[in-house]
A and B are shown apart, each in its own frame.
Chain A
Amino acid sequence: MIAPAIPDRVGRRWVALAMAVLMLATSPSVAVEPSEMLKDPALEARARAIGQALRCVVCQNQSIDDSAAEVARDMRRAVRERLAAGDSNNQVFDYMVARYGDYVLLKPPFKAGTLLLWLGAPLVLLVASAAILVAVRQRRVAAPPPPLSERERERLRSLLGG
């Protein structure tokens, strides 16, 4: 007989635990290369925060920090150049929007054109809760059932074995 790879229950449990720990320990991959990073850790941290919020324009739904695309690398470099030149985070976002439009922001801005996007889901939630509230109230207001007749009482007693 071939010896099983994991002989007993206890061993199996340890393997499961180890796998869970390994899975949680892995961080999402980041495409930022060490050579791109800024020397100042505070500036680099800001560059990362901005990079996570900017969309790589050729990858549909990936931030520039997560993408290995050429244009994403250029954008990361531009973010760092702007920060090193003394721009605020908002100025860096404006710089990118001036070139690529609102599309470049992973979190769309709140304005007339995006009202439905931002308020649509809360609106549906509000309308649905109102509908449920009204339905529940109506049910509560509904008249209580009429009392049992003498025949029904008799039958109930016999069913209950009384």
Chain B
Amino acid sequence: MTRRLLFLLPLASLALMAGFFAWSLMAGRDPAAIGSVMVGRPAPRLDLRALRDGDKPLTDALLRSGKPVIVNFFASWCTPCLAEHPLFTRLAQRDGAVIVGIAWKNKPEEARAWLAKLGDPYLYAGLDFDGKTGLDWGLSGVPETYLIDGTGIVRYHFRGPVTEKDVTDVIIPFLKAKQ
């Protein structure tokens, strides 16, 4: 009897594996999603020259103002940034969101021209030309967006472009909850 059950062992392991694979495929599991260790921690250092002429440099104080802040890394050469850009414009205009834009590995004149053409949703805009600030923030590329609460703690992180769903499901509730 136990011998017979032993013969079922390979079949059972096959079923187990098939189940795991099916779950991986259907549950929307993304093995490439690596999250961010920044979530739940105080926002990394911010010390950048301003992108726009005449603006003051960007410092940590911006992230601890008591109001929630959106920090968005972008670049004029980045196509997904183009896709998410109207959402930030709307967040700034309709919802009054405080958005810090950081041009990552971008020539300042190109970033400025890009914003002049598409509209500038950033209350503060900085330039991270050599990517050092990006590295401190655990950035892997652009676009990436961090939601920071009024005390300077990172609460959410989006790797890749923000979508309409992210705005309605996460960003708007986040902005409203803390105000």
Contacts and interface: CB of A to CB of B under 8 A. Distances in A.
A130 interface: no
B115 interface: no
Contact of A100 (B37, B105, B132, B141): B37
Contacts of B134: 71, 74
Contacts of A70: 105, 131, 141
Interface in A81-132: 97-101, 103
A75 B138 CA distance: 10
Contacts, number: 40
Q: Taking chain B's interface residues, is the majority helix, strand, or loop, or is none over half, making it mixed? A: loop
A103 B139 contact: no
Interface residues of B, number: 18
Nearest to B35: A101
B129 to A, nearest CB: 12
Interface string A24-59: 000000000000000000000000000000000110
B169 to A, nearest CB: 24
A75 B135 contact: yes
A98 B137 CA distance: 9
B131 A74 contact: yes
A78 interface: yes
A158 interface: no
A74 B135 contact: yes
A52 to B, nearest CB: 19
Contacts of B130: 74
A58 B141 CA distance: 8
B140 A57 contact: yes
B166 interface: no
A120 B105 CA distance: 43
A149 interface: no
Given A58-B140, A101-B138, 16 more contacts: A70-B131, A70-B141, A71-B131, A71-B139, A71-B141, A74-B131, A74-B132, A99-B37, A99-B135, A99-B136, A99-B137, A99-B138, A100-B34, A100-B140, A101-B37, A103-B34
9 contacts: A57-B140, A71-B139, A74-B134, A75-B135, A78-B132, A97-B37, A99-B135, A99-B136, A103-B34
